[in-house]
Structure 1
Amino acid sequence: MKRFASFLFLTAIAFTAPAHAQQVLVEAESFDSRGGWKLDTQFIDTMGSPYLLAHGLGRPVEDATTEVAFPEMGEYRVFVRTKDWVARWKAKGQPGRFQLIVDGTPLQETFGTKGVEWFWHDGGTVQIENENATVAIRDLTGFDGRCDAILFTKNDSPPPNTSDILPNWRRELLGLNATPTNMDGYDLVVVGGGYAGMGTAISAARMGCKVALVQNRPVLGGNGSSEVRVWAMGHIRRGKYPRIGEIVEEFCDRATKSPGTFEEFEDAKKERIVRAEPNIDLFLNYHAFKVETEEKQITAVHAFNTNTNERKRFSGRFFVDCTGHGTVGYLAKADWDMTPDGRMGMSNMWAWDEGDAPAAFPETPWALDLAMEDFPYPRDHHGQWFWESGFDKDAIGDAEGIRDWNLRAVYGAFNAMKNRDGAADHKTAFLTWIAFIGGPRESRRLMGDVILTGDDVVEKREFIDGCVPSTWSIDLHYPKKEYADKFSENPFISIAEHDRRIDRAYGYPVPYRCFYSRNIRNLFMAGRNISVTHKALGTTRVMKTCGMMGEVVGKAASICVLQNCKPRDIYERYWSDMEKLLELPGKAYRPTVEDSFAIPDDSLAKADGRGQAKGIDPSTLKGVVVDDRDADKSKRWRDAFALPGFVGTGYVYARESDAATIRFPVKVPASGRYEIRIAYHPHLNRGSTVPVVVEYGKESSTMTVNMKQPPQEDGFHSIGQFDFSEGDSIIVQLSSEGAGGDVHADAVQLVPVQ
């Protein structure tokens, strides 16, 4: 097809150019064929536009080509909006070089060689001799050259170098309507198509809402797509409402590695499941950039097509921010927060393989100057989650710089493997994939009526509206010390610190009040931008958990539509109605919110709250029983539920080297003599000298337990008899230090001696 790039005669108001200067603007993303160039939409909010990226892993990519219609023949000056992406670091070389070719002839100027920031690079003049000219962008390196747009002009002045999204001069040159196409009639507009957005859209649609799902990428899944390849973590179908997670079960990936292969992330399956819902209109490749509000409510979200720049205005009754960055809430002036420093960073994972013949790799003097000792060897041919940087950088305003630094780190590492001290061992090695779409972990968080804290999670603070089970440990990332010392400007390798005092079997129930804005009355949120603190984000941010948030929000939105109420009213007035929806199978469906539900025959069987065989209910045991869920645990305890016969929802274990302690608080119900018992599962790797201390009043008693041997009765082992008074507070402590092996802790039982 012909690309008829629009032109018109502009006045001096639009440009600082002579009146009636003729202009022809070609947006790179609108090329008829992108060849091997990739569309990058991550940084629109800061640089103003999507652009094409020559992400060839060191091998020049195929030309992007298009046909441009010119109003008349003659000489045109050419400007190309681009940058030298390593210039900000004063790096040697120019890895992003490319040419512009018009009707088969390259311009003399080479692009991608100047500019710390995006700017209009003067390419000199070109003689246009045909009404329809072929224009091509030719990559020269394969190392991430980038092109935003090309301007052919009859005067010598470059266009405005604004970072505004679709400014008037661009819209006019592209012949776009001043008024966007209005898309109305939606009960719910969901912005963001990751796990949270998909869970929200599918849930709301099945509850009877008419839904628009707006996603600025060509695929769904976000970090769990083939573009980023983070496997989906977090247990689903757990806790008080084990039906939550059944929708996530339908679309989640089954990747066995992170990063896995393209096929493992099943982009096509995700899209197929969403498109199968008659109540969902899916808008891939639409970037939301503007929000209309009135009286603390959102009335519409504006988005433009990242391929054509066509604009749409999505109006609806309710809106959901699933962008990760809290973009919709930020534009609507919702209350938000962002940890000022020490945030988790962005990952760009990578993979390599080995062939049958030697494979060359270009020298990369512009990359980080690395030797093999400067990075963790990518075993199993994978650069994993810990290739992460940007901890104290602007996670939104400088996201492109963080991504580019990550690329320099990966290319520098592979250069060491191929051309430096690793060359002898990697003669046949070649890169197979590097994520150019970043995997951010933390940025803005939108504030709700509850701001969940890390202490809330660890102390198991109960909220009436707790509904989404978070089963991931409080997993916070920091720069690994040796890399922070050597690469203090921006360490590129992280370490994860886990606070494992989380019930990974049953899950900590995150309250519903974290899922809507406290000051924008019709705005929900789901995903990593919900109302939590930095520490609590460490457990709530994983993808399956975010997907379950979406399921809850979709159900809440249907009540808001049916009852003509606001998200806050669900908790205050309609929580009993909400609980009924939370008990429904994930495949329950009604055409509208007024209809009755149909339950398909292929609905999943209801899980027991742990997704596993049910443990022993503590209330069925004699005496007083304190489960490990209610014990005070130090770090290093690991949740498990694989061994049958446990009490409650699982058990915990620690290794001797962990020096871990667990303290069970027991309240004496009446005066008398009691036997204290501990529950554990025997194994050959268990400790034979596990220290156990009973503390009561000012006294204590210490003994050791051989956990290689089976307990004496019903899975419990007696550690002695004691006389207590009514109301006494007892602490039973188990320690792994000096245990002689692993320590297993399940429950403590206080039984009256007859």
Structure 2
Amino acid sequence: MLYNRNQIIKLTMNHTFGKTAARFFFIISIFLVFSGYSRHAAAHTARHEPTSADLIVYGGTPAGVIAAVAAARMGHSVIIVEPQVRIGGMTSGGLIRTDVGDEETIGGLSKEFFNRNLAYYVKQYGEGSKQVEKSYQGYFTEPHVAEQIFNEMVKEQANITVLTRHRLVDVAIQQQKIASIAIERVASGEQQTLSGKMFIDASYEGDLMAAAGVPYRVGRESQWEYNESFAGVNYGPKEIRGMGDHKLQAYNIRGTLTRREDIRVLFPKPDHYTPERFEAMKQKILQEGYTKLEELMPHLIGAEMPNGKHDNNDGDLPGVNFAYPEANWEERQQIYAMHRDHWLSLFYMLQNDPELPEAFRADARKWGLPSDEYPENNHITPQLYVREARRMVGKYVLTQNDIRTHRYKETTICVGSYNMDCHVVDYLMTAKGIVPEGGFIEPCDAYEIPYEIIVPHSNENLLVIGGFSATHVAYGSARMEPVFMMLGHAGGLAAHLALQSGSAVQDVAVKQLQSLLTQQGAILKAPYLPDVAIHFTPAEPKVGEEVTFTVEEKDVRAPLKKIWWSLDGTGEINATDKMVKHTFTSAKVNEITLLVEDENGLRSPFIKAEVPVGESAIRDVNVEAEDGEITGEWIRSRSPNYDFRLLYIDGDTKKGGKKTRFVPDLPKTGRYMVSVAYSPGENRATNVPVTIQHSDGTSNVTLDQSTASTLFVYKPLGEFRFEEGESGWVEISNAGTTGQVVVDAVKWIWLGDE
């Protein structure tokens, strides 16, 4: 029975994997699975006899190349299908300053690629050369060198065939397996069919898994779906914060630049020149009196790679990419062209805009495109930086909690360690004007990644290593090229085991997979940190009743030597024993925070618990800086602090002209402890003036932000009486300060009635 599944998908999927669509989709899928079907429409006629291989890898990304090499080295025939003119994805397409994370977590064929890169520069230029130095142990490279190394790894395996400039047209499924895929040559539209025993989707877009009926989603989960504090909308009115949506972090052209005169090509004027988008940047140049490009973009100098290449990560274009994952090939090319012209407009404007000082334009013209890169595309990468697109909903969904707390996995296949990193998602109109929304970058400890995130629920011969199963937040960390390659290594060996045993990918013996990976140099275990939880009894204490708190050891491998409890929510350290007793004197919901350290100096993340005391639903009131009344131009930090609060920094400028007033809506008249959150640092001011308006008048406090008086985030300023409602406030100013002033959050902690 023959079906045109394109029509079915349009009925069931509309840019996001919604619940209603999902139910219908599963009903249709059940019918198709037991009937057998082909996405190959009747009007399509293959011009070649089907070509077959043990493994078909769709997507010649770093993940796809490594998967193919891993399987081929185990003796299997492999075909790589890649829509672009080159293999290597972002690594050969502009991302030459690799997002490494912890080097100790990179192993296996991923590490082999970087070692080969280093060996190339040592052989070409010598051990002590500048090129070797700039390669940073092989993690930094040039696009054409990365492409060369990927090609060498592939050519060493005679059983790998590479089909570049070919793209997916249709998928034929029999029962719960992919039987074949139809592909077309980009240049001519000529089609052919590839049949395989196993398939891997290594594309950034997740095209094969989507065509094969695998459940997926596009966009951001809500904060509450997986209990992720970073999830959903993270700025704007309170009513929308934490909400999920269909939006994606911005894409861009990850351009390669150079100042070398012998290979420099000046930026051409794009077909669609849009200098107006950079008006604010132009005004900054004029106001600050910049005469050099590096004054505007100091990161360019620090991003120098071997042979005078520079990795440029500017030119994000939020919003333009929202339709990209579900777009057809022509629409995707249009979206690429919009990003390319946006990026070119930026640098063409900086080099040629007559309103800019000639000295600045002349310095900007020292920069250009390298003539030895991307000759087929006017020296501009043809690879759009697709930071996320479709994400599979697989056997396991990796979340923020797996990265921050539940870091160890029995079925681990590799280790991630890079920051949770999300570029701006969109721009919102707010009371403070148009502001960027969605961006964050949060450090994390190394964490183990389980096999199940590359395994679909039902498709028995498909693994997904590009759009793997993770939330928007978790994908922001695990989407880095070294991890893609490590997932590719695991995927290639998992395909080998499935082929060898004749089993479904869901039934692959993970212990055997781990053994193979370990033999081939993969790193499977994350560096250990103590894993604990808070246990307390009674579960619902009354006012005045003693509560016993105990450190519950979930995974503790060395004796705990230091323990810190914050039991009253103020940020003060209230106890330091493994078991402590505390009596709450007022009815409310209390927030408890715990931190532990073992005898090796390894420290846990912050562990939190809520303790409801009495029948009152009163909670402490926390006001964040973004909800405050801000005066002056503060720098909104892209990096969230503890509990995902976005900081504002005064930039150590315009002293006396910047302040932020925090106004709470208090639930009840009575006594409150006021605590201020801030991130300490050596460059912070030691004399930050804080004004507190309360029922009994005004109090002034000086805050030293250069040091922390506690391990916890908040610092108590004192106890005050406040009226119910919004009559009181706390104001933090930069008047008379020396050093950076940061405003973060203020908490009113309920102590009781008068």
TM (norm. structure 2) is: 0.51
Instruction: Tell me how far 1:439 sits from its aligned partner.
Output: 0.9
- For residue 345 of structure 1, the aligned residue among 242, 250, 253 is 250
1:456 aligns with 2:402: yes
**Distance in 2 (alpha carbons) for counterparts of 1:209 and 1:736:** 61
Deviations 1:56-81 (A, max 9, x none): xxxxxxxxxxxxxxxxxxxxxxxxxx
1:181 is aligned to 49
Query: What does residue range 260-299 of structure 1 map to in structure 2 within 5 Å?
Result: 262=142, 265-299=145-179
Count of residues in correspondence between the two structures: 462
**Distance in 2 (alpha carbons) for counterparts of 1:513 and 1:419:** 52
1:231 aligns with 2:68: no
Q: Which stretch of the first structure deviates more once superposed, 402-411 or 258-267?
A: 258-267
- Describe the SS at the equivalent of 1:464: coil
Structure 2: which amino acid aligns with 1:473? Answer: N
Q: Which stretch of the first structure deviates more once superposed, 389-398 or 440-449?
A: 389-398
2:477 is aligned to 539
- Describe the SS at the equivalent of 1:222: coil
Query: Cα–Cα, structure 1 residues 647 and 449, in superposed 2: closer, same or farther, change >3 Å?
Result: same
- Please say if residues 54 and 78 of structure 2, whose CA atoms lie closer than 8 Å, have aligned partners that are also in contact: yes
1:369 is aligned to 275
Instruction: Tell me how far 1:452 sits from its aligned partner.
Output: 1.5
1:317 is aligned to 197
- Describe the SS at the equivalent of 2:213: coil
1:439 aligns with 2:439: no
Structure 2: which amino acid aligns with 1:561? Answer: L
- Please say if residues 251 and 273 of structure 1, whose CA atoms lie closer than 8 Å, have aligned partners that are also in contact: no
1:332 is aligned to 212
- Please say if residues 266 and 368 of structure 2, whose CA atoms lie closer than 8 Å, have aligned partners that are also in contact: no
**Distance in 2 (alpha carbons) for counterparts of 1:620 and 1:459:** 16
Query: What does residue range 599-610 of structure 1 map to in structure 2 within 5 Å?
Result: none
1:580 aligns with 2:515: yes
Query: Cα–Cα, structure 1 residues 583 and 496, in superposed 2: closer, same or farther, change >3 Å?
Result: same
- Please say if residues 76 and 496 of structure 2, whose CA atoms lie closer than 8 Å, have aligned partners that are also in contact: yes
Query: Cα–Cα, structure 1 residues 363 and 445, in superposed 2: closer, same or farther, change >3 Å?
Result: closer
1:424 is aligned to 358
Instruction: Tell me how far 1:454 sits from its aligned partner.
Output: 1.7
**Distance in 2 (alpha carbons) for counterparts of 1:304 and 1:208:** 27
Instruction: Tell me how far 1:386 sits from its aligned partner.
Output: 3.8
1:404 is aligned to 337
User: 1 or 2, which has the higher helix percentage?
Assistant: 2
- Describe the SS at the equivalent of 1:460: coil
- Please say if residues 338 and 445 of structure 1, whose CA atoms lie closer than 8 Å, have aligned partners that are also in contact: yes
1:522 aligns with 2:466: no
**Distance in 1 (alpha carbons) for counterparts of 2:143 and 2:80:** 24
Query: What does residue range 90-105 of structure 1 map to in structure 2 within 5 Å?
Result: none
Instruction: Tell me how far 1:524 sits from its aligned partner.
Output: 0.2
- Please say if residues 57 and 202 of structure 2, whose CA atoms lie closer than 8 Å, have aligned partners that are also in contact: yes
Deviations 1:675-710 (A, max 9, x none): xxxxxxxxx979999xxxxxxxxxxxxxxxxx99xx
Structure 2: which amino acid aligns with 1:368? Answer: T
Instruction: Tell me how far 1:437 sits from its aligned partner.
Output: 2.8
- Please say if residues 215 and 286 of structure 1, whose CA atoms lie closer than 8 Å, have aligned partners that are also in contact: yes
- For residue 411 of structure 2, the aligned residue among 465, 475, 481 is 465
- Please say if residues 66 and 109 of structure 2, whose CA atoms lie closer than 8 Å, have aligned partners that are also in contact: no
**Distance in 1 (alpha carbons) for counterparts of 2:218 and 2:260:** 42
2:587 is aligned to none
- Please say if residues 236 and 548 of structure 1, whose CA atoms lie closer than 8 Å, have aligned partners that are also in contact: no
- Describe the SS at the equivalent of 1:203: helix
- Please say if residues 460 and 504 of structure 2, whose CA atoms lie closer than 8 Å, have aligned partners that are also in contact: yes
**Distance in 2 (alpha carbons) for counterparts of 1:625 and 1:236:** 26
- Please say if residues 265 and 368 of structure 2, whose CA atoms lie closer than 8 Å, have aligned partners that are also in contact: no
- Please say if residues 249 and 423 of structure 2, whose CA atoms lie closer than 8 Å, have aligned partners that are also in contact: yes
2:488 is aligned to 550
Structure 1: which amino acid aligns with 2:450? Answer: P
Q: Identity rate of aligned residues, in percent?
A: 17
2:315 is aligned to 387
Deviations 1:722-747 (A, max 9, x none): xxxxxxxxx97487999x99xxxxxx
Structure 2: which amino acid aligns with 1:578? Answer: L
**Distance in 2 (alpha carbons) for counterparts of 1:305 and 1:576:** 40
Q: Structure 2 stretches of 5 or more lacking a match?
A: 1-9, 11-38, 119-131, 220-244, 285-295, 302-309, 370-378, 529-554, 565-570, 572-598, 607-636, 644-680, 687-705, 718-738, 741-754
**Distance in 1 (alpha carbons) for counterparts of 2:495 and 2:84:** 25
Query: Cα–Cα, structure 1 residues 265 and 496, in superposed 2: closer, same or farther, change >3 Å?
Result: farther
1:498 is aligned to 441
- Please say if residues 47 and 190 of structure 2, whose CA atoms lie closer than 8 Å, have aligned partners that are also in contact: no
Instruction: Tell me how far 1:319 sits from its aligned partner.
Output: 0.4
**Distance in 2 (alpha carbons) for counterparts of 1:314 and 1:221:** 22
Q: Report the RMSD for the aligned CA atoms in angstroms.
A: 5.2
2:58 is aligned to 191
**Distance in 1 (alpha carbons) for counterparts of 2:426 and 2:42:** 46
- Please say if residues 180 and 311 of structure 1, whose CA atoms lie closer than 8 Å, have aligned partners that are also in contact: yes
Deviations 1:467-501 (A, max 9, x none): 2211011111215869999998xx9x99841122x
Query: Cα–Cα, structure 1 residues 336 and 424, in superposed 2: closer, same or farther, change >3 Å?
Result: same
Deviations 1:342-384 (A, max 9, x none): 311211134364869x999887794213356336844437683
Instruction: Tell me how far 1:585 sits from its aligned partner.
Output: 2.0
Structure 2: which amino acid aligns with 1:283? Answer: L
- Describe the SS at the equivalent of 1:298: strand
- Please say if residues 108 and 489 of structure 2, whose CA atoms lie closer than 8 Å, have aligned partners that are also in contact: no
- Describe the SS at the equivalent of 2:449: strand
Q: Structure 1 stretches of 5 or more lacking a match?
A: 1-45, 47-164, 172-176, 587-603, 612-617, 628-633, 635-644, 663-683, 690-706, 709-718, 720-730, 742-754
**Distance in 2 (alpha carbons) for counterparts of 1:561 and 1:206:** 14
Q: Which stretch of the first structure deviates more once superposed, 332-341 or 476-485?
A: 476-485
**Distance in 2 (alpha carbons) for counterparts of 1:659 and 1:410:** 27
1:219 aligns with 2:86: yes
Query: What does residue range 43-54 of structure 1 map to in structure 2 within 5 Å?
Result: none
Instruction: Tell me how far 1:626 sits from its aligned partner.
Output: 7.6
- For residue 183 of structure 2, the aligned residue among 303, 306, 312 is 303
Query: Cα–Cα, structure 1 residues 267 and 216, in superposed 2: closer, same or farther, change >3 Å?
Result: same
**Distance in 2 (alpha carbons) for counterparts of 1:520 and 1:337:** 17
1:508 is aligned to 447
Instruction: Tell me how far 1:583 sits from its aligned partner.
Output: 1.6
Instruction: Tell me how far 1:280 sits from its aligned partner.
Output: 2.1
**Distance in 1 (alpha carbons) for counterparts of 2:318 and 2:641:** 32
**Distance in 1 (alpha carbons) for counterparts of 2:333 and 2:477:** 26
- Please say if residues 97 and 140 of structure 2, whose CA atoms lie closer than 8 Å, have aligned partners that are also in contact: yes
- Please say if residues 348 and 439 of structure 1, whose CA atoms lie closer than 8 Å, have aligned partners that are also in contact: yes
Query: Cα–Cα, structure 1 residues 544 and 179, in superposed 2: closer, same or farther, change >3 Å?
Result: same
Structure 2: which amino acid aligns with 1:565? Answer: S
